Structure 1
């Protein structure tokens, strides 16, 4: 049976591309936005088609989810209209309902898949009457395999001493979902500034900071950071997330998937959500919170 993979955002693309590499079923691809470069890197042999062609040719559709585009919701509507099974594989642990909302309505697939017990619990609480299936997250499986391969080859995972700061477009998401760029109580710039102001709480040795923009962002967005700290700063994103994670000792961000990658890689992981911001929604243990460290330092 032929599967049409439909993705726009980076998180969904990582899962779907890893799924395709493990699947015995033939796949065709509908990709736009940040997803395109991820599939070109991981699955260059996949045939790219239009959504209309995919719905006609495929037996069922496997979609990512995200807020930056309506592509996946359009695919769900088109697939269901054509009598094709539609499935969405959720790639995170936050904002599940908003991923399927459009003009005040929910555009749900026939089935939702999640990759771990925490995601299953959250999804069932969000969509209590909808079919939800648990399937190992293929992206995280790939990451574990790659980390194990590094360890087996006796390459060091100690990193270069750098701090990897991973960005996400929080204000854009809040504006699109809620009509208020500060809906979550902070923006990506607030979080980065809070980190830079308090980086000494993580390290007193002036470590190099590598700022990794979100795949939908350009490094210039954060150029101001070099003007507000004496610590050396450069911008990442040329390597994969795992490569840049393994090259660091500390991983910092708000509630990005990158924090989970950092945990898998055995790094110190810190959420930089500033005081007054919505509490970090990631359910994983092992994440430190800079706001708590800052409050403790103030006494």
Structure 2
């Protein structure tokens, strides 16, 4: 949502960013920052005190303040836009705080695939609007800027993928921590990173003379545990955890091939035209297939198909960047227009 807020600010609109979570850490200095409401506060009164006229929010499994504010906005009769950022839980995220399902005036989704899947889950068609993904608005420009010299410099900072060796990026996710380690957990995926990374390493042993592996940790990953898992699984492979301070997007831009489970960085890799592998052995949740079921992504969800899947992935050639980038480039303007239209009626 930050690109939307920045654009509205340049248009002279009154924009305030909640100084909370990711928005608080990364929000533009040009927008007003609102302190989050105290615990137990009357959220409706808080909205009135700050003169809020509309709300743009996203949902989070680990942070229910945004949807709580949305419920207060609904009670106050304020228009709101919910911005989706991933291809899963389209309907469930509208009640993930345990309350009744909250249908926003506008439910902004990334592409036609997301709209169709949301409809299949029962989200009302009237609220759905395909806007593109504002978080990917600048990706096309970053791809264009990531030429050979840029990639060489980044790979030198990473320390692997020197000339003559391919660089494989593995996208980490704290699956065991977030979704559990067995079927007793309601969110169980059917696998964890503790199985997937060793599986990838085993299948790559035969290629250790020509490629390196850089692991992109998730912000919630325990780096000590992840490093220990890598050291246990790596065998003859060269590589390790990405340098602190280097973003996952930078790593993906610099890599030759990208592997992972269900991270949106796999989608970014696909947009860039890089050979992309989604490794989800034993998957039991259909919602986690969405990021991987795209032409050009090698998807492994069985425990016996990894060898063939990795062979196909390693043989795949890079493609041109995808046309979907154009829609995402326009997303901030589309959403800014929607918000301003909702306010003016």
- TM-score band by shorter chain is 0.7 to 0.9
Alpha-carbon distance change, 94 to 182 in structure 1, aligned in 2, over 3 angstroms? closer
**Larger RCO, structure (CA 8 Å, separation 6 or more):** 2
1:50-89 matched pairs, under 5 angstroms? 50-51=36-37, 52=43, 53=46, 56-89=50-83
Show structure 2 runs of 5+ residues with no match.
38-42, 156-160, 312-345
Is the partner of 1:148 in helix, strand or coil? helix
Give yes or no for the alignment of 1:239 onto 2:249. Answer: no
Determine the C-alpha separation between the residues in 2 that align with 1:274 and 1:147.
31
Report the number of matched residues: 275
Conservation of the 8 A alpha-carbon contact between 1:252 and 1:270: yes
Q: CA deviation at 1:73?
A: 1.3
What does the per-residue CA deviation read over 1:163-192, in whole Å, with 9 as the maximum and x for residues that have no partner?
2111223344435xx960662211232222
Show structure 1 runs of 5+ residues with no match.
1-15
Higher strand share: 1
Conservation of the 8 A alpha-carbon contact between 1:87 and 1:111: yes
TM-score, normalised to structure 1's length?
Answer: 0.79
RMSD: 2.9
What does the per-residue CA deviation read over 1:189-236, in whole Å, with 9 as the maximum and x for residues that have no partner?
2222222222347x4436332211212333223122212223233222
Conservation of the 8 A alpha-carbon contact between 1:90 and 1:113: yes
What does the per-residue CA deviation read over 1:61-97, in whole Å, with 9 as the maximum and x for residues that have no partner?
1111221211221121121122211211100111223
Conservation of the 8 A alpha-carbon contact between 1:29 and 1:54: no
Conservation of the 8 A alpha-carbon contact between 1:164 and 1:250: yes
Give yes or no for the alignment of 1:218 onto 2:222. Answer: yes
Query: Which residue of the partner structure matches residue 267 of structure 2?
Result: 260
Determine the C-alpha separation between the residues in 2 that align with 1:135 and 1:296.
33
TM-score, normalised to structure 2's length?
Answer: 0.70
Which of these two proteins has the greater Rg computed from alpha carbons? Answer: 2
Query: Which residue of the partner structure matches residue 149 of structure 1?
Result: 145
Determine the C-alpha separation between the residues in 1 that align with 2:104 and 2:221.
29
Give yes or no for the alignment of 1:29 onto 2:25. Answer: no
Is the partner of 1:270 in helix, strand or coil? strand
Give yes or no for the alignment of 1:127 onto 2:122. Answer: yes
Give yes or no for the alignment of 1:294 onto 2:307. Answer: yes
Determine the C-alpha separation between the residues in 2 that align with 1:208 and 1:297.
15
Alpha-carbon distance change, 111 to 165 in structure 1, aligned in 2, over 3 angstroms? same
Comparing 186-195 and 99-108, the one that deviates more: 99-108
Alpha-carbon distance change, 103 to 128 in structure 1, aligned in 2, over 3 angstroms? closer
